[in-house]
């Protein structure tokens, strides 16, 4: 068994990690910290986990918890894991970080997009980008992984076949995406209360959402291009649902492929990927509910001269904790799908 700990387990991504680890045949929970909930029983905060964790309580973090642990997941808010990481990478064999702290390889981007300099930029090269469908070999060779954000995961999987095959221009890409409210985290906020969100649909992070440089970084890497040649106008939206994510992407083609040809390219690109479904229909967030699967499709619009690519995921599973488990399986030399489901919950 692989002994695992979760630092920051009291949030929604932490709860999803706890759910998945409970059913994982090779991962055994050693500790789950939640400083704001220290001393609170996991089952009291999340009754859905009561059958698996009984009277186990969230712990306050202390470095001694790392003794004898093989793998640590970090589910902390942005900026919090940076202070812990120098110790973590020294004391445990594998680290999987679900925050944005080590996703951007260019340290100079952090002040612009996150409002502060990165305190340990020397660690950035140690982190593989945790999107297995595109960076599997890098993950397998690493000891630390930065799990992508939910929006970059959904968007990148939706457009990757187009970018890798040089079928679209890299500038002027437009991405409109919507997320369930769980993407805003567990702590209550004025804009995420029931009365605010119910019966509403709103855009946020206009022109400056933090996932923009991550999406652009992915596109540049997939195209083997300089990041200066990539530009993305990304607009996220908050949808009145608990979980789920849909990204609709608009790109300008470099050639004259029709829809049937593009779908064939997608089918070939993802032929061996058990967690990507290429559909001729329109991807649905509910089809992905609680699964680690992304559903994608593509259309060529001859009338406007654009390509439309659409992706759907569960923002907490494939967009966070499920993908973290997928990466951890690779690190531990296990079959990638261990403990994960490709089947959504319905209705």
Question: Is residue 219 within 8 Å of residue 230, measured between CB atoms?
Answer: yes
Q: Where are the beta strands (DSSP E) in 107-207?
A: 127-129, 144-146, 173-179, 202-203
Rg (CA), the chain: 20
Question: Is residue 330 within 8 Å of residue 273, measured between CB atoms?
Answer: no
**3-state secondary structure (DSSP) of residue 122:** helix
Alpha-carbon torsion (266, 250, 213, 291), positive or negative: negative
> To 5 degrees, how large is the angle CA 127–CA 132–CA 133?
140
- 195 belongs to the catalytic site: no
Question: Is residue 157 within 8 Å of residue 133, measured between CB atoms?
Answer: yes
Compute the distance between CA of residue 71 and CA of residue 27 in angstroms, rounded to an integer: 9
With both helix axes pointing from N to C terminus, report the angle between 150-164 and 212-222 in degrees, rounded to the nearest 10: 30
- Which helix (H) or strand (E) segment holds residue 308: the answer is strand 306-313
**Candidates 150, 154, 249, 327; catalytic one:** 150
Question: Do you find a cis peptide bond into 347, omega within 30 degrees of 0?
Answer: yes
Catalytic residues, which ones? 150
């Amino acid at each position: 068994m692989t002994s695992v700990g979760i630092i920051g387990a009291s949030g929604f991504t932490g709860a999803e990690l706890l759910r998945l680890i409970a059913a994982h045949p090779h991962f055994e929970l050693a500790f789950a910290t939640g400083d704001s909930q220290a001393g609170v029983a996991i089952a009291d905060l999340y009754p859905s986990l009561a059958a698996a964790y009984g009277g186990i309580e969230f712990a306050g973090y202390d470095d001694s918890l790392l003794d004898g642990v093989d793998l640590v997941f970090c589910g902390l808010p942005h900026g919090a894991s940076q202070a812990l990481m120098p110790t973590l990478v020294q004391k445990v064999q594998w680290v999987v970080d679900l925050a944005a702290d080590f996703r951007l390889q260019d340290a100079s981007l952090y002040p612009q997009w996150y409002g502060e300099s990165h305190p340990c930029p020397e660690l950035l090269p140690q982190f593989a980008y945790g999107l297995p469908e595109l960076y599997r070999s890098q993950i397998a060779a690493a000891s630390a992984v930065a799990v992508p954000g939910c929006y970059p995961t959904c968007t990148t999987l939706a457009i990757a076949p187009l970018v890798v095959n040089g079928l679209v221009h890299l500038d002027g890409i437009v991405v409109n995406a919507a997320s369930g409210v769980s993407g805003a985290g567990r702590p209550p906020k004025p804009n995420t209360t029931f009365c605010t969100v119910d019966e509403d649909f709103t855009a946020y992070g206009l022109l400056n959402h933090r996932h923009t440089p991550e999406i652009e970084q992915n596109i540049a890497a997939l195209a083997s291009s300089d990041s200066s040649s990539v530009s993305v106008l990304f607009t996220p939206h908050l949808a009145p649902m608990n979980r789920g994510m849909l990204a609709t992407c608009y790109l300008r083609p470099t050639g004259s492929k029709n829809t049937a040809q593009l779908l064939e390219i997608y089918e070939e690109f993802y032929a061996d990927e058990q967690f990507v479904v290429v559909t001729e229909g329109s991807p649905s967030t509910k089809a992905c509910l609680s699964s680690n699967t992304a559903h994608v499709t593509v259309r060529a619009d001859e009338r406007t001269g654009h390509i439309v690519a659409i992706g759907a995921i569960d923002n907490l599973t494939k967009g966070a904790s499920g993908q973290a488990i997928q990466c951890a399986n690779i690190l531990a030399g296990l079959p990638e799908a261990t403990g994960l489901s490709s089947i959504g919950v319905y209705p």
